[in-house]
Amino acid sequence: MSLLATLTPGLASAAAAAAPATPASPAAAAVAPPAQYTGQTPDWKRCHTALPADFQCATIKVPLDYAEPGGKRIDIAISRFKAANPAKRHGVLLSNPGGPGGPGLGLPAELDTMLTASVRERYDLIGFDPRGTGASTPVVCGLTPDERPWPRPYKAKTFAKDVRWAKSVADKCRAQHGDILPHITTRNTARDMDVIRAVLGEKKISYLGYSYGTYLGSVYTQMFPKRADRFVLDSATDPGKAWRGMVRDWGPEAESAFERWTEWTAERSATYRLGDTPAKVSQSFWDLVAHAEREPIVYGGMAFDGALLRGAMRPAVFDVRGAAESVVIFKDLADGKPVPQPPAAEPVPDAIISSQWSVLCGDTTWPRNPETYREDSRRDAARHPLVGDHVSNITPCAFWDRAVEPKTTVDNKVGALIVQSEWDSQTPLSAALGMHRAMKGSKMVTVKGGEGHAVYLLNRSACADRTTDAYLATGRLPAGNVTCAPNPREGKSESATVLPVPPRSPLLPVTIG
């Protein structure tokens, strides 16, 4: 599952309190890429000795600021696998693995082995590292491992420290990349995609985007509606809540998932011994949190206090079996029992965190007053005790320079297929429904009872895969929305611990969104 062990939250994000959204004007949507960039001829070369020889990479140039195309240029790294059957070739399929901050250069190498023949033979698979990431012109702020973890729990005694952290991250990024940061945005990445389209000689692009990649895809359809062909948006964000609103929604969504988990676990009390009623299972967890607050529990090289344990439980609880297994592990540790220790978790690379903040803070304008975050954290902690304080606490965006462009309002009739698990921890079902409302020409595939972030090609649902394959192969959307069942699961949970999984692809490191 290395393809989308890289998917995260996909995202990290929010904007209920952002500046009022303003749609791209019809004139802006019709703008062609700057002529001086469309005639480039990519110098294709083998991407990596660990990958197939016919997987090729190249670098093209794009303007840093599309308002000044004659000004500074930056690099965009692109990759491709040519269509398996030139006689049936339909066009190009661009892809994005999420983030923001997730490099996508290596994604076609994985798609090449996972797509069905009916899809693979029709497309050149095109990957790219979005501006600010990977082999494209990067943003690397020089953040230490201690500066990278987020979300952070709100505590009155540490809030001043959190404010200093947020300001320090923003200041470091500004000092390193002050001239670039204003232009590391989703709108500019969408413009880069249109340059890629033109350089490849295509009138339209098809697209497969996961998590944050769904927002990127939707922004492309808003800015370039006539150049969007077959778009698959898997595990969708709500474009109306980019970005602070998306993150704050993790609070109430986690409460619903926690309640479902307590019911499921209570029905299996003989297996997990956490309680035979939902109330008793809940109490078992909160007793464990209280223990960890008094005496942190060391697991995988990390010392989990109560707040960190709550934060780790947020994504875990959407996988009921994985959450139960994780809580049993921590309970055994708290009781002094030995358990197998996983490898110590490695911090997410500075480059991924830096580029993530660049997009989250650059796309919209966040509240500037630290007291807004304090008040929101207190209120949300009372309403949503699992992680309400984490997801409303201050971020570096409070100290970022104001967004250069207003947030994009996605409101169009471009056809797209939205694919979604009912129980997705990063981009919940409510977010996908928001995307579906915004993209009025879309159809939606919902995996009822499905768990996990990202669906297509990950063995989540054969029905969802068949529906997506048919759309990519033929261009025909389902007549109506589709409800699918998840595939049966056997054995232990794939997420039996709350710790991250190390990457395996040489071009595809772990992302958080």
How deeply is 336 buried, as exposed, middle or buried, from its count of CB atoms within 10 A (0-12, 13-18, 19+)? Answer: exposed
Sheet containing 123-128: give its strands across: 45-46, 56-63, 73-81, 123-128, 91-96, 205-210, 228-234, 412-423, 439-451, 482-484
**Catalytic residue check, 177:** no
Q: Say if residues 439 and 471 touch (Cβ distance below 8 Å).
A: no
Active-site choice (177, 384, 390, 453): 453
In the structure encoding, which two tokens stand for residue 74, read together? 């930056």
Instruction: Report the 10 Å Cβ neighbour count for 328.
Output: 18
**What is the C-alpha separation between 78 and 411, in angstroms, rounded?**
29
Active-site choice (424, 442, 461, 465): 424
In the structure encoding, which two tokens stand for residue 61, read together? 């140039």
**Catalytic residue check, 234:** no
Instruction: Report the 10 Å Cβ neighbour count for 285.
Output: 24
What's the CA angle centered on 322, arms 317 and 325, to 5 degrees? 110
> How many Cα atoms sit within 13 Å of 276 on the Cβ side?
1
Taking alpha carbons only, the member of 111, 118, 89 closest to residue 473 is: 118
Grouping H, G, I as helix, E, B as strand and the rest as coil, residue 292 is helix
Q: How many residues does the chain have?
A: 513
Active-site choice (79, 211, 355, 442): 211
Residue in this structure with the two tokens 């190390």, named with its chain if needed = 502
Question: Which residues, other chains included, contact 151 with Cβ-Cβ below 8 Å and sequence gap of 6+?
Answer: 12, 247, 311, 387, 390, 391, 393
Q: Which amino acid is at 139?
A: V
Between strands 228-234 and 412-423, the pairing is parallel
Q: Say if residues 71 and 65 touch (Cβ distance below 8 Å).
A: yes
Q: Where are the alpha helices (DSSP H) in 104-144?
A: 107-114, 117-120
Radius of gyration for the chain, computed over Cα atoms and rounded to the nearest angstrom = 22
What's the CA angle centered on 494, arms 490 and 499, to 5 degrees? 160
**Catalytic residue check, 424:** yes
Q: Which residue numbers are catalytic? A: 211, 424, 453
